[in-house]
Structure 1
Amino acid sequence: MIPESTQPSARPAVKLWVRLVAWAAVLLAAWHILASFLWIAPYSVNAREVIPGNALSSYMLPMFGQSWSVFAPEPVNGDYHFNVRATVENDSGERTETGWVSATDVELSMIRYNLTPPRAGIQSTEVASSFKKSFDALTEVQRTTASGDFMTAEWEVGLRAALENGAKNSGLDPAAIEKNAGAVDQFMADERRSTAYATQVAKAVWGDEVVSVQYRVSRQNIIPFAERHNPDAKRPEPSVVLPGWRPLVVEEGQNEGNFADVFRPQFERISE
C-alpha cells in the first residue's frame, strides 16, 4: 500500500476560460496560416475565392503583406511613389491648393540606415502598388473617368456608376463586362484606401484646414539588366497615374493623432 503522502494528486480541472483562450489561439493560428498561404502562393483566383470579398487583402495588408517577388523569374524591377496635395480653407473661407508632398520619401526616411525598420516605412508603396495594379486593369474609358474630379457627398456611388457605364459603352461582350465588374470592385476598394491614406497624410502635414485631397501614384522601372554596365544608362521615365480631387475619407477606428505624431516629425526633418 502506497503511503498517503506519496500517492499521486488528482490533476486539477482546467478552467473554462483557459480552454476558450486556447481554442481561440488555435483558430487564430489556423486562420493566419491559411491566409498567409493563399497570399504568398502562386496567384489563383479560384484559391483566393475561398475567402469572400476583400477579407484576405484587408487582413494581410498592411501588417502581413509579403511575397516572393525578390526572386526570379519576375523580381521587383521598379519603385512606387505616392504623392499628396490638398485644398485648405482658411478662417475667411478662402481655399488654396498646396504643393505636392512625397509620402513615400517621408516613410523611406524612417527605414533608411535603420536596422530595426518600422512597418510605417512601407505603407505608401504598398498603397501605390495596389492602386496602380487595379487602375491598370480598367478599360481606357474607365481610366479617363477615374482621372476626373468627384467631389459630392456620394462620390463613391457616382464614380462606381460612371465606371460601370464606361464598361457598357466600351463595346465589351457580356462575359467581358462581368469580368470587368470584378476589376471595378477592386479599383473602388483601392480608391477608397488610397483616398483615406491621402487624407491622413494631408491632415498630418496641413492640419484640420484640409477640405479635399488629390494623390498621384507613379512607378519607375530600374535600369534594364542588359544595360547594367552602361555608365550612360538612365532609368526609364516614370509611369504616372493622377486621379482627380476627392473629399476626405476617414475610416472608423483610425487614429489621426497617432499617425500625425509619427509622420509629421519625419516630414519636418527631411524638409529642413
Structure 2
Amino acid sequence: MEDNATEVVPRPRPTIKRTLVIVAMAITGFHLFATLLWIAPSSAPREAVPGELLSKYMIPLWGQSWSVFAPEPINGDYYFDVRAVVKTSRGEEITEWVRATDVELDHSTYRPFPPRSAGLGIGLASDLKGSWDELPADQKAIVKLDYFRGGDSVERLSTKLREYEDPDGAVGGYLDSEHMATAYATQVARAVWGDDVERVQYQVARQNVVPFAERNDESATLPKLQPVPVGWRASVVEDAQSDEEFAKYFCASDVVRCADEN
C-alpha cells in the first residue's frame, strides 16, 4: 500500500527571528555581567570598564550595593524632617515638623513593587550627612545659620562658606547636596501646606542600630541621633518638576495629612 502522507519539511527560521534571539541573548549576557561587576567588591575587571559606563547603566534602574551583605551590612537609619513658614491671613506661621522618610517608607512597606521615589528622602539624607561630616568646623557653624532673604541667598551662603579654609575641598560637594535637599524639602512643604510656603527648614539625622554584639541584650538602647543642623532656606524649584504629580504621590500615604485634605 502506497504511503500518500505528505512529508513535513521543517522550514528554517527567518533571519529576523534569529537576529532578535541573538540580540536578546547578548543584552541578557551583558546585563548579568554588569550586575555581577556592580555588586562585587572593587576588582580589576570592574576597573576595566571604560569611564562611567557601568555606573550610568546600573543607576538608577538597577543599582545595588555590596553594603546590604555581610560583613558590612547597612547599620543605620536616616531621617528627613521638614517644616515651613507659611503665609496666612494672620501673617507668617511656622508649621509642625513632617517626617518625609516615614511617608516614603509607608509607600514601600508590604509592596513588592514600590515606586522608585520611595527611597528618595533617605538617599538625600545620607548624601547630606556624608557631605556635612566632611566640612571643617567653621563651615558647619555657618550651615546652622539662616539664609533665605533675597534672591541671592544661595550665593551668599556659598561665599561665606568659602571664606574659611577648606583643605579637603568639601564645600562644593556639600553645596550640591544641600541644593538637592532644599529642592526636595520645598516639594514636600508645598505638597503638605500648599503654595503659600515662604521658606523651608529641614533636619537630617542618622541613627545607628543596636550593635550586633548586643542584639540579645534586653537593656540595649539605640545609639544617639547624629543630626545635621541646617538653618532656614529659601525655596528651591527645579526646572520641569511637577508639584502636582509629587503631591499626588506624597499625599497618597496615610502617614501625612496634606492641605487639600483639610
Same fold (TM over 0.5): yes
What are structure 2's unaligned runs of at least 5 residues? 1-22, 258-262
- The Cα shift of 1:240 comes to 0.8
Query: Bigger radius of gyration, 1 or 2?
Result: 2
Alignment partner of 1:167 out of 165, 168, 173: 165
Q: Is the 8 A contact 2:103 2:250 kept in 1?
A: yes
Task: Tell me the SS of whatever aligns to 1:128.
Answer: helix
In structure 2, distance between residues paired with 1:226 and 1:60: 34
> Is the CA contact (8 Å cut-off) linking 2:38 and 2:64 kept in structure 1?
no
Alignment of 1:139 with 2:124, yes or no, is no
Equivalent in the alignment of 1:270: 255
Residues in 2 aligned to 1:39 and 1:158: alpha-carbon distance in whole angstroms: 41
Partner of 1:240, secondary structure, is strand
Q: Identity over aligned residues, as a percent?
A: 39
Q: How many Å apart are 1:91 and its aligned residue?
A: 4.0
Q: Which residue of 1 aligns with 2:155?
A: 157
> Could you say which residue in structure 2 is the equivalent of 1:235?
222
Aligned residues of 2:38 and 2:65 also touching (Cα < 8 A): no
SS at structure 1 position matched to 2:194: helix
1:129 aligns with 2:114: no
Inter-partner Cα distance in structure 1 for 2:50 and 2:242: 31
What number of residue pairs does the alignment pair up?
237
Superimposed CA distance per residue, residues 36-75 of structure 1 (whole angstroms, 9 cap, x where no aligned partner): 96898649xxx79955xxxx79x945x5543111123322
Residues 110, 121 of structure 1: 8 Å contact kept: yes
Counterpart in the other structure of 2:74? 76
TM-score normalised by L of structure 1: 0.73
| C-alpha distance in structure 2 between counterparts of 1:98 and 1:142, whole Å | 28
Aligned residues: CA RMSD:
3.8
Partner residue in 1 for 2:4: none
| Deviation for aligned residue 1:192 | 0.3
Q: Give the Å deviation of 1:90.
A: 1.5
Relative to its length, the structure with more helix (as a share) is 1
Runs of 4+ displaced beyond 2 Å: 33-43, 47-51, 63-66
TM-score using structure 2 length: 0.76
Report the secondary structure of 1:129's partner residue.
Answer: helix
Q: Structure 1 pair 153/60, CA: closer, same or farther in 2 (3 Å)?
A: farther
Counterpart-to-counterpart distance in 2, 1:50 and 1:67:
19
Change (3 A) 1:73 1:148: same
